[in-house]
Amino acid sequence: MRALITPSTQVGTVRGGSPRRGRPSQSPLERQHRRTFWPFAAPALILYTVLFLAPIGFAAYTSFYKWDGLSPMRNRGLNNYRILWRDPVFHTALTNTLEILVVGGVITFGGGLAFYDGKSVVGGLGVSGDTSCADHNRWSSRPLLEASRRACP
């Protein structure tokens, strides 16, 4: 007795006729990487939210109130910002901050361009991308140079 096997005529279905779940082009390794992303990323995201985003949000919220931290909050609306904008000390501080930002940014960017030699950087270690296999053997213990390992036999 011989069984007759015919290919499925429906694209995107598995045996039994139910639709395929997930992405058909994903390998098992890609699916595993996708599953392990959130367990590793969640603690960092939670800490970032608690230590940075929540205080920024609370500061923005309290900026619309008159409050010394102990007494009840009194709503002032945008009046705090009107008072701040009329303060000459604030204008001096804002001007100084913007000068530091612009000058520091120009110096940092200019210094980076001055030291850039036009070669690609492999693995972030400062090893230029045109390294030979001899250079690869010297750095072969570094895990960040996987790309160069594939290029050298």
Give residue 121's pLDDT. Answer: 55
Give residue 74's pLDDT. Answer: 95
Give residue 6's pLDDT. Answer: 58
Residue 109: CA atoms inside 13 Å, Cβ hemisphere, count? Answer: 6
Sequence-distant (≥ 6) Cβ neighbours of residue 8 within 8 angstroms: 15
Give residue 76's pLDDT. Answer: 93
pLDDT band at 93 (very low <50, low <70, confident <90, very high): very high
**CA–CA distance, 85 with 79 (Å, rounded to integer):** 10
pTM of the complete model: 0.49
Do β-strands 121-122 and 65-66 pair in parallel, antiparallel, or remain unpaired? unpaired
- Domain edges within the chain: 119-153
Higher-confidence position of 27 and 12: 27
> Picking from 6-10, 40-44, 67-71, 116-120, which range would have the lowest pLDDT averaged per residue?
6-10
Is the separation of the CB atoms in 13 and 20 below 8 Å?
yes
pLDDT band at 27 (very low <50, low <70, confident <90, very high): confident
Higher-confidence position of 82 and 35: 82
Residue 52, pLDDT above cutoff 90:
yes
CA distances from 96 to 5, 103, 105, 107, 114 (A): 79, 10, 14, 16, 26
Residue 149, pLDDT above cutoff 60:
no
Higher-confidence position of 137 and 95: 95
Only one residue has tokens 């499925």, namely 8
Give residue 115's pLDDT. Answer: 82
